[in-house]
Amino acid sequence: MARNNAATLGWHHSQHIGASRELSPPNPLEPVPLTPDRLLNAPHPRIRLRQRLLGALCAVSMLAPLASPVAQAQSQSANRLPALGDTASEDFGIGAERKLGDQIMREIRRDPDYIDDPVLLEYLLSIFQPLVAAARQRGEIGADIDQRFAWEPFLVRDRSVNAFALPGGYIGVHLGLIAMTSTRDELASVLAHEMSHVTQRHIARAMAIEKRQSLIGAAAMILGVLAATRSTHMDAANAMMAGGQAAAIQGQLNFSRDMEREADRIGFGVLTSAGFAPGGMSAMFEKLDMASRHNDSGGFPYLRSHPLTSERIGEARARLGTAARAAPVSVLEHSAAQARARVLMDTRVDALHRWQTLDADVTAVTVADKLIAAYTSALASTLLRDWTRADASLAKAQALLQSNPRADAKAERAVAMLTAQSMLERGDAARAEAALKPYASEPSRPMALLAARIALAGTNDEAKIKSNADNLQTWVTGHPHDAEAWSVLGQLWGRTGQRLRSLRAEAEARHALGDFVGAIERLRVGQRLARSGSGPGIDFIEASVIDARLRDIELERRQLSPEERKQGG
């Protein structure tokens, strides 16, 4: 069943509409446990995403040991491990790890619960990028993996508290994790820990044991998991098979205690070197520990893949005495991100109605709590298209920030973007543009996408549409894998009559999402249109670009594994 309210966001190209979820309170700390009946009859989005991930893991990792001796020797010579080096990881070199990560991400980007929310992703990157810079400065990211790994965080629409590292430098973050953190330092501590699993090649060491699997066992596991990922109605036998395979792969992804301690130690150093408060890690551990003592019920998978021990918690607390204090930072920007994650992690109508009433909560005392309540209500009301309630909550948020003794430009910007989004959803392009006027010259991704959406929704001002198209064209030149930007750019070029450019942009959007067939089809349409030589928007340069991109993508598709091609590649 589609989520109609989620679809009204409009500017989340990669935010597909997924299957309905079982009823549960919107609080991530009170999840509904996954019973066998639910697993068999109503697959939970978290299970579906895990199945896709498992299928990709099997398809590549099981075949990785079959590489030629020359390729293995080359990967081994390029593989230099930092601390806690382990010769086992030489069987899973840097190139193989990145290839595996890329294949997993192609699967994840096609999943309904992969979410590209420009606002939340920008906030996540504002935390992740300083951590990457600090790791480089400290030497944790060596030259061998610096340019070859992606170093890319991404969001998963899931209310459970979880984050995970994937091969090749990809870090997945559930919206439930952002929703339960109180400060950016707590979120940064999780990202630093997960990134340290990548920099220390823990994943390579875990995956190296795949070489012990027989070809028969590998083939059976690949076929079983891939079948499970394509089926929405698994029978009991399939469920048992997929469950056994999931347990095996999950065991490989769960790191040893030594690796966990190493990720804690190195992650803490990266965290403090990046300027985040050292108390963020211990505060996060204490919060997770308290949650596990009271009730997990399946909502804290992070505790199972990263089990807390008294030793780990004690070490985190002990490190506080050795770290320098960080400069205080306002929590209000994080409060806005926390509120946004709360709403977007569950956009069913009943959940949105509960979030809508949050700004009437009289127990909110601090400015942060009040901002969370107002932002949450405003976004929920926008998704419900209750404009009166949305305007009232937006007014509360704006008044709260204006009356705050300490000005907070970042929090004001977050509320301005929410205001523009709300106005855009109701078709009021003029008020949306007015909300973003103070930030019109800002080159950020969410501002550029919102401005482009406003131009498309407004009057047919061709000069404004072309200006926005030029801005996005510049952006995708430096970010060629941004599917959302390519999709919007295709709409802009279409409005200006640039048919070839529009088709090429649509093709690049499909390619960025791993849909090679869709990309090739659009490029072939553009190729036929160019060869016809008729109609506006046909030029030789763009036709040459389409020819070149068609050859590149067709070659890339031929290099995919047979399993990937069957799954939509």
pLDDT profile of the chain (569 residues), mean per 10: 36 35 36 31 44 45 32 34 45 83 88 94 98 97 93 94 90 95 96 94 73 44 43 46 49 66 92 94 85 60 66 80 78 97 96 91 84 97 97 96 92 98 96 95 94 90 92 95 97 93 97 94 94 72 94 92 69
The CB density around residue 326, as the number of other CB atoms within 10 Å, is 16
User: Using CA atoms, how far apart are residues 505 and 491, in angstroms rounded to an integer?
Assistant: 9
* Residue 87 maps to a domain: yes
Q: What is the DSSP letter of 173?
A: E
What is the rounded CA–CA span in Å between residue 258 and residue 512? 37
In a domain, 333, yes or no: no
Specify the number of domains making up the chain.
Answer: 1
Give the span between the Cα atoms of 368 and 362, in whole angstroms.
14
**Within-domain flag for 256:** yes
**461, 464, 468, 470 alpha-carbon torsion, rounded to 10°:** 110
Query: Do 302 and 250 contact (CB within 8 A), yes or no?
Result: no
Using alpha carbons, select from 390, 453, 384 the residue that is nearest to residue 7. 384
- Packing angle of the helix pair 409-425, 118-138 (nearest 10 deg): 140
118-148, pLDDT tens digit by residue?
A: 999 999 999 999 999 999 999 999 998 999 9
Encoded tokens for 458: 């407004």
Structural domain includes residue 198:
yes
Starting at the earlier edge strand, list the strands of the sheet with 170-174.
114-115, 152-156, 170-174, 163-166
Domain range for 257: 35-322
Distance between terminal CA atoms of the chain?
25
Residues 3-15: pLDDT tens digits? 333 333 334 333 3
Residue 484 lies in a domain: no
Residue 360 lies in a domain: no
Q: Kindly state whether residue 162 falls inside one of the protein's structural domains.
A: yes
Considering the domain boundaries, does residue 176 fall inside one? yes
**Distance between CA atoms of 5 and 497, rounded to whole angstroms?**
32
Instruction: Check residue 326 and give its pLDDT.
Output: 77
Residues 6 or more apart from 58 whose CB is under 8 A from it? Answer: 218, 221, 222, 225, 226, 245, 249
Half-sphere exposure (Cβ direction) of 83: Cα atoms closer than 13 Å: 16
